[in-house]
């Protein structure tokens, strides 16, 4: 898979790439692609977790792209949603010659001191999907998470005709993603659909917690007619199982159907849309997350820099307080476009 080439400002009015070559020693070994003869800079890559279908898909894309591009990576680590493990894994990268680090910190507040240490060592960081609250980053590769919440609100509000009750499975609120999606969803509902009552259910991205809280909400509100799942990879299966158990999993278009919108775009969500079990999802681009995380990491290791503006891959780089963020597109998926071959969820093994 060929990465896009960033052109000069005269050629592309958007991404501006300032040349600045740097060489790197070939320390460490790469279990996927690197070898003793690989002269490319060493990249340290930490996978954030292996307990959701979305992040497992991201890991699959990372490994594919590393291999196809012949990149030099140190042995991949997985911090398993544990900030302590992430800090330890990053220390290993520092000690084994990483010239850039790719991470996806799930606790975006607790990573600041580690980012400061990397900055002091002049090791640039690419953060995937999550934007650290503090600490310097070279680039955040992320979609607009506030748009996720707004799209979910608009879709559900229209589906329900502006009236009803909605359960919202909130992601961890110590994560910028959980906060962005929750705040945007709440703001939109209050402004556009005041006739809809929202039950905000904090889940810490855990499917069993979401299922238990949904069961309690349904017991007190049997007329619940909408659900917003902030992460289909974590919440889809336990939610469908609970609704099936209670006889509430009725196909879209039939009386009693609970309208459901999700975030992620995993294959299982697309199948659920086809079956009428859920109505929509916002496709979070796991393939592009991997592709551009590696692109920016290699560029960072080579001393290249970017400026805010439109890119040549249908996104926009924006300035954030602690660096730059490339906001990748994340389309709404419904029954009308669920079979689109351009959706990553239609192009990866289930």
Strand locations in 72-173 (E): 77-78, 100-103, 125-128, 139-143, 164-170
**Distances, alpha carbon 265 to alpha carbons 44, 82, 213, 270, 284, in Å:** 27, 25, 23, 7, 6
* Fold for the domain defined by 43-143+285-330: Rossmann fold (3.40.50)
- Distance CA(107)–CA(70), nearest Å, equals 31
- Distance CA(283)–CA(290), nearest Å, equals 15
According to the model, what pLDDT value does residue 33 have?
44
According to the model, what pLDDT value does residue 150 have?
97
Model confidence pLDDT, tens digit, residues 108-141: 889 999 999 999 999 999 999 999 999 999 999 9
- Distance CA(221)–CA(167), nearest Å, equals 10
- The answer to whether 256 and 28 are in contact (CB under 8 A) is no
Please state, for a pLDDT cut of 70, what percent of the chain lies above it.
89
Six token digits for residue 145: 């998470």
Model confidence pLDDT, tens digit, residues 42-67: 999 999 999 988 999 999 999 999 99
Helix (H, G, I), strand (E, B) or coil at 131: coil
Residue with tokens 């619940």: 224
Average pLDDT, the chain: 89
pTM greater than 0.95 (yes/no): no
Q: Where are the domains of the chain?
A: 43-143+285-330, 145-283
HEC assignment per residue over 233-285:
HHHHHHHHHHHHHCCCCCCCCCCCCCEEEEEECCHHHHHHHHHCCCCEEEECC
Strands 280-283 and 332-333: antiparallel
Superfamily of domain 145-283: Response regulator (3.40.50.2300)
| Mean pLDDT on 11-25 | 32
- The answer to whether 48 and 83 are in contact (CB under 8 A) is no
Please state, for a pLDDT cut of 90, what percent of the chain lies above it.
83
Label residue 263 by pLDDT band (50, 70, 90): very high
| Mean pLDDT on 201-218 | 97
According to the model, what pLDDT value does residue 270 have?
98
Provide the CB-side half-sphere exposure for 269 (13 A, CA): 33
């Amino acid at each position: 898979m060929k990465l896009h080439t960033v052109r000069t400002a005269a050629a592309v009015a958007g991404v501006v790439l300032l040349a600045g070559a740097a060489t790197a020693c070939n320390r460490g070994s790469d279990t996927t692609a690197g070898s003793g003869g690989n002269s490319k800079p060493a990249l340290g890559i930490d996978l954030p977790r292996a307990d959701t279908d979305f992040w497992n898909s991201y890991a699959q894309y990372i490994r594919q792209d590393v291999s196809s591009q012949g990149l030099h990576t140190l042995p991949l680590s997985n911090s398993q949603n544990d900030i302590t493990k992430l800090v330890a894994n990053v220390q290993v990268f520092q000690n084994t010659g990483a010239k850039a680090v790719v991470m996806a910190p799930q606790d975006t507040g607790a990573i600041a001191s580690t980012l400061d240490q990397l900055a002091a060592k002049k090791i640039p960081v690419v953060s995937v999907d999550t934007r650290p609250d503090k600490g310097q980053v070279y680039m955040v590769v992320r979609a607009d998470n506030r748009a996720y919440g707004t799209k979910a609100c608009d879709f559900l509000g229209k589906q329900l005709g502006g009236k009803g009750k909605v359960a919202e499975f909130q992601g961890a609120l110590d994560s910028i993603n959980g906060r962005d999606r929750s705040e945007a969803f709440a703001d939109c509902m209050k402004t556009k659909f005041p006739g809809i009552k929202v039950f905000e259910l904090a889940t810490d991205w855990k499917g069993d917690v979401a299922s238990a809280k949904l069961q309690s909400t349904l017991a007190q509100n049997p007329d619940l007619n909408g659900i917003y799942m902030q992460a289909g990879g974590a919440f889809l299966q336990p939610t469908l199982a609970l609704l099936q158990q209670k006889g509430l999993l009725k196909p879209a278009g039939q009386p009693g159907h609970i309208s459901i919108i999700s975030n992620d775009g995993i294959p299982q969500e697309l199948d659920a849309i086809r079956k009428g079990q859920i109505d929509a999802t916002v496709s979070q681009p796991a393939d592009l997350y991997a592709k551009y995380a590696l692109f920016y990491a290699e560029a960072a290791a080579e001393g290249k820099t970017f400026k805010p503006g439109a890119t040549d891959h249908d996104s926009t780089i924006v300035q954030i307080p602690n660096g730059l963020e490339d906001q990748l597109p994340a389309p709404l998926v419904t029954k009308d476009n669920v079979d689109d071959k351009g959706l990553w969820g239609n192009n990866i093994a289930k």
